[in-house]
Structure 1
Amino acid sequence: MSDSNTAGARHDWPLYEVFVRGKRGLNHVHVGSLHAADDQMALHHARDLYTRRNEGVSIWVVRASAIAASSPDEKDPFFAPSGDKVYRHPTFYDIPESVPHM
């Protein structure tokens, strides 16, 4: 296969979003995007690209086409229903200092 055919094939690879959890982190954080032929390749490329300094302990790769997201244009109506449910917010509770990560 020639280089031009390989480049064309790479252009058709799906886009993946990459999330990394750092050694001191509790959550995975979005760090960027990449194209890969399959999930395994995406994991390997994500490791090589986004954890060069051994800062990660876990990587998630998700095909961008599988992500459903709310629209920033609709933020007010989309999030408005939670505003009238004050009991969902921990403002009425004292959290003891012995409870970590709150």
Structure 2
Amino acid sequence: MSRNDDATPARPEWPLYEVFVRGKRGLNHVHVGSLHAPDATMALHNARNLYTRRNEGVSIWVVLAEDVTASSPDEKDPYFEPSGDKVYRHPTFYPIPEDVPHI
């Protein structure tokens, strides 16, 4: 029996998830890769199996790639330039009292 590709219904593409893992010694989550999964629960399980095989993670985030909004590296100069002239946003602008141990 031959297979007729035209008669076979197209399988829907699983959505793409971006995976972020927080390591045992890390304070933040780091993007480690991407994967396709039918839903967020399966994406979380697959991310655990794929990206934390050596027990190096303490927390995993999976985010639908279509929900991530990011600036373009090509636009970094005009995008971040406006903050350069706002010195008051830097802690060096304010005097630090001597009784404050650290900031």
Instruction: Please confirm whether the aligned pair reaches a TM-score higher than 0.5, indicating the same fold.
Output: yes
1:38 is the counterpart of 2:42? no
- Deviation sequence 1:27-56 (CA, Å, 0-9, x none): 000000000000001000000000001110
Aligned residues: 92
Q: TM-score, normalised by structure 1?
A: 0.78
Report the structure number with the largest CA radius of gyration.
2
How far apart in 2 are the matches of 1:27 and 1:34? 20
How far apart in 2 are the matches of 1:49 and 1:20? 11
Secondary structure in structure 1 of the residue aligned to 2:49: helix
Where structure 2 has 5 or more consecutive residues not aligned to the other structure, the ranges are: none
Q: TM-score, normalised by structure 2?
A: 0.78
Secondary structure in structure 2 of the residue aligned to 1:70: coil
Which has the larger share of helix?
1
What is the Cα deviation at residue 67 of structure 1?
A: 0.4
RMSD across aligned C-alpha pairs, in angstroms? 2.3
Identity of aligned residues (%): 76
* One-letter identity of the residue aligned with 2:30: V
